[in-house]
Amino acid sequence: MANENVNIVSPCENKEQAGDSESTVETNKNSEESTETQSLSKRQRKKLLRQKKWEEERELRKQKRKDRKQQRRLQRQNNQDEERTEIDRNPRKRLRKVVTLSSVRLVVDCSFDSLMHLKDVRKLHKQIQRCYATNRRAPFPVQFIVTSLGGQLKQSMDEKDKGWVNWKDISFKTEHYSEVVAKEDLVYLTSDSPNVLTELDQNKAYVIGGLVDHNHHKGITFEKAKELGIAHAQLPLSSFVKMNSRKVLAVNHVFEIILAYLEKGNWQDAFFTVLPQRKGAVALDQDGAQDQEEEEEQESDFDSDEQAPPQMGKNGEDTSS
């Protein structure tokens, strides 16, 4: 019987051989990567390094996001606890939470969608957001109605603020305001009307033109009101205020003035609570004469504000025409 040579390989030798094999594969892999890297341009190598670093730091970024989220949650909880403690300590603050719903209706007429560029439609969207937020905080909130909702405005709201469908204490209507409110209850607020509003009728619905047009369609809201045969009036701005700029106000300014009037009970306080400084508003005395000292002070503010207008004006200032 022929002698047969049998090679007996110990487990340790197997592991060493496997390790050598893996090392060889890894070396070959690194060599291939090195060759590929060398064949890349400088810009591609930098991009590859950035991508590699991004992947390596993925878990670190994830942990940082978790930490920030937890920190914000704790901060909100602390703020809520502090607010509750302050309210419990101060009875006056508890009283401020009590609101009285007014029967006055404020309607924003959005039937001018086709007359505006998209950028102006987006300004109107922002102004409606301001109206909504102010009404929610007001001690005497009004019944807020938006009519003729559609077209570019609805598209902007769907794209930029999908939560609008869940807004509370507001009614969105696709119909024209004349189909939502009885004509005899309507009063269109327009600066072109010869009629001056002296007080608010709790049974009326006051319409604000939802139009940002920079005077391209001057007087259109007044003409529309006359065509429909509904009442119209302008705010008593000239009786209490001298303006260094045009009297046409943004939708949210008209809305906020009405809310301020319901709270304060007089027009002058309402105007000066709301009107932005850059409008150069100056109070008039009871005889309609201008207070010279106050005028000089306001004009000084107006000059400086022309260089750096306040933030409130960025959403438009010209839609209650």
Domain for residue 74, yes or no?
no
- 90-104, 164-178, 226-240, 255-269: least confident range: 90-104
Hey, what's the torsion of the CAs at 163, 164, 169, 173, to 10 degrees? Answer: -150
Residue 129 is encoded by which pair of tokens? 């957001």
Mean pLDDT of 50-79: 87
Domain for residue 201, yes or no?
yes
Give the number of other Cβ atoms within 10 Å of residue 191's Cβ. 21
Domain for residue 169, yes or no?
yes
112: left (phi over 0), alpha (psi -120 to 50) or beta: alpha
Domain for residue 241, yes or no?
yes
Q: How far is CA 51 from CA 55, 56, 63, in A?
A: 6, 9, 19
213 is catalytic: yes
Residues 6+ apart with CB under 8 A from 291: 282, 283, 284, 285
Domain for residue 49, yes or no?
no
219: left (phi over 0), alpha (psi -120 to 50) or beta: left
Domain for residue 152, yes or no?
yes
Give residue 320's pLDDT band: very low, low, confident or very high (50, 70, 90): very low
> Which CATH number do you get for residue 251?
3.40.1280.30
Mean pLDDT of 307-314: 38
What does the pLDDT read at residue 276? 66
Q: Which domain holds residue 166?
A: 105-315
pLDDT, tens digit, 9 for 90 and up, residues 261-296:
999 999 999 998 888 654 566 666 644 444 444 444
Residue 209, beta-bridge partner list: 109
* DSSP-derived 3-state class of residue 105: strand
pLDDT, tens digit, 9 for 90 and up, residues 20-34:
555 554 555 555 555
Residue 167 or residue 4, greater confidence: 167
Give residue 42's pLDDT band: very low, low, confident or very high (50, 70, 90): confident
pLDDT, tens digit, 9 for 90 and up, residues 77-116:
888 777 676 656 665 554 445 667 788 999 999 999 999 9
Nearest-angstrom CA–CA distance, 274 and 301: 16
* DSSP-derived 3-state class of residue 226: helix
Domain for residue 87, yes or no?
no
The answer on pLDDT for 235 being more than 90 is yes
Mean pLDDT of 210-225: 86
What does the pLDDT read at residue 54? 87
**CB burial of residue 98 (10 Å; 0-12, 13-18, 19+):** exposed
- Residue 187 CB-half CA count within 13 A: 21
Domain for residue 61, yes or no?
no
What does the pLDDT read at residue 231? 96
pLDDT, tens digit, 9 for 90 and up, residues 105-149:
999 999 999 999 999 999 999 999 999 999 999 999 999 999 999
What does the pLDDT read at residue 45? 86
Q: Which residue has the tokens 């890894």?
A: 26
Mean pLDDT of 296-303: 40
On average, the pLDDT of the chain sits at 78
Mean pLDDT of 39-50: 84
Q: What is the CA radius of gyration of the chain?
A: 34
Give the residue from 3, 293, 252, 1 showing the smallest Cα distance to 135.
Answer: 252
Pairing assessment for the beta strands 282-283 and 241-242 based on DSSP bridges: antiparallel
Distance between terminal CA atoms of the chain? 117
The number of distinct structural domains making up the chain is 1
Give the residue from 165, 167, 250 showing the smallest Cα distance to 214.
Answer: 250
Nearest-angstrom CA–CA distance, 143 and 141: 7
What does the pLDDT read at residue 104? 93
Residue 241 or residue 226, greater confidence: 226
Question: Which of the residues 88, 213, 287, 291 is marked catalytic?
Answer: 213
- 42-56, 74-88, 224-238, 263-277: least confident range: 74-88
Residues 6+ apart with CB under 8 A from 229: 183
Nearest-angstrom CA–CA distance, 163 and 171: 14
Residue 249 is encoded by which pair of tokens? 């106000």
Dihedral (CA of 222, 128, 255, 173) sign: positive
